[in-house]
Structure 1
Amino acid sequence: MEVTGVYHAYGRRPVLRGVDLRLEPGALAGIVGENGAGKTTLLKILSGELAPDRGTVRHHGRFGYCPQAAVLNDALTVRQHLNYFKVAYGLSDLMRAEEVMEALRFSEYADERAGVLSGGTRQKLNLTLALMHDPRILLLDEPYQGFDWETYQRFWDLAGRLREEGRSVLVVSHLAYDAERLDVLWRLDGGHLCERTTEATA
């Protein structure tokens, strides 16, 4: 993914002031920043949900987007969500979704309605929906919100496997949790991205 000169403002309030970013294949990357720094705005632009005022975003391959707020229908079961997205993605089966569910240990919730799931389990479904079409690039906004410690570790194991498969993973958070796991870490401050050193890149 290549991002060049991205600007965005809300009215007269500039949020992004010329963001440049290159995400290499097989990279596990992170963006951190204070609340209100523009992280979610940037992710919406990277995913195509929001058009930048200026600048370009280029994707090389399929991408998955996991927003901070899970977009789920509380009346549908987990399985119904998977079947709905299967049709939307044009998939022939749910094999990839089942692999992700097993990795995150929530296969037993397949017939539970989304409305009765805990926050952490809803987030597992949110992540599964973003991954079930086997994207080359995965964009994650606060992906481990609501996870317990065990699930948090499984999330990083899954992210590591995606990197080994040549997938690119971008994790956006307000804090740099486990920065040593990342290949590159940027900080969004004042509308600009600044690269920070991690133990993995040092």
Structure 2
Amino acid sequence: MKVREVHHAYRRSPVLRGVDFDLRPGAVVGIVGENGAGKSTLLRILSGELRPTRGSVRHHGRFGYCPQHTVLNDAFTVRQHLEFFRTAFGLADLRHAEEAMDVLGFTEYADVRAGVLSGGTRQKLNLTLALMHDPRVLLLDEPYQGFDWDTYQRFWALAARLRDAGRSVLVVSHLAYDAERLDELWHLKDGQLRLAVGAA
């Protein structure tokens, strides 16, 4: 993914002021910033949900997007969500979804309705739905919200597996958790990205 000179403003209030960065294959990258810094706006632009005022975003291959707030139907079971998205993505099977569920540790919830799942388990399903079509680029907004310590460790194990498979993972958060697990860490401040930690 290549992001060049991305600007965005709401009415006359600028939020992004020339964001530039590359998300290379086989990298786990973090973007951190305070609440209101424009992180969710940037993610919506990267996912194609929002058009920037100016600038460009280019990426190759499939991408997955896991928003901060889960978009689930409380009346559907986990399995029904997977089948619905399998049809939408035109997938032959649920292999990648089942692998993600196994790594995240919630396969036993397959027949449980989303409406009775805990917040952390809903987030696991949200993440699985973003991964089930094997995207080359994965965009994650506060992905470990509601996770307990075991699931948090499982999340990073999953991110490492994706990196080893040559996938690009972008994690956006208001705190720089486990910066040593990242190949690059960027700070979003005053509408611009600044590299804090980078791999050579």
- SS of residue matched to 1:100: helix
Q: Residue 30 in 1 paired to residue 27 in 2?
A: no
- SS at 1:41's partner residue? helix
Deviation of residue 195 (structure 1)? 0.2
Q: 1:125 is matched with which residue?
A: 125
Q: Deviations over 1:80-119 (max 9, x none)?
A: 0000000110000001100000000100000111000000
Structure 1 residue ranges (4+ consecutive) displaced by more than 4 angstroms after TM superposition? none
Give distance in 2, aligned partners of 1:52 and 1:88.
Answer: 27
In structure 2, the partner of 1:153 is 153
> How far, CA to CA, are the matches of 1:59 and 1:77 in structure 2?
33
Q: TM-score, normalised by structure 2?
A: 0.99
Residue 80 of structure 2 is matched in structure 1 by: 80
Percent of aligned pairs with the same amino acid: 75
Deviations 1:112-162 (A, max 9, x none): 110000000000000000000000000000000000000000000000010
Q: Give me the whole-angstrom Cα distance separating, in 2, the residues matched to 1:178 and 1:154.
A: 13
User: 1:21: how far off?
Assistant: 1.1
Find the aligned partners of 1:116 and 1:51 in 2 and give their Cα distance.
Answer: 35
The TM-score with structure 1 as length reference comes to: 0.98
Question: Cα RMSD (Å) of the superposition?
Answer: 0.8
C-alpha separation between the residues in 2 aligned to 1:103 and 1:128? 10
Q: What CA distance in whole angstroms lies between the structure 2 residues aligned with 1:160 and 1:197?
A: 18
Residue of structure 2 in register with 1:176 after alignment: 176
Q: Given the alignment of the two structures, is residue 107 of structure 1 paired with residue 107 of structure 2, yes or no?
A: yes
Name structure 1 gaps, 5 residues minimum: none
**Secondary structure in structure 2 of the residue aligned to 1:5:** strand
Alpha-carbon distance, 1:196 to partner: 0.3
Q: Distance in 2 between matches of 1:160 and 1:121?
A: 21
User: CA shift at 1:60, angstroms?
Assistant: 1.1
For 2:5, what is the secondary structure of its paired residue? strand
| Counterpart in the other structure of 1:67 | 67
Give unpaired runs (5+ residues) of structure 2. none
Q: How many residues align?
A: 200
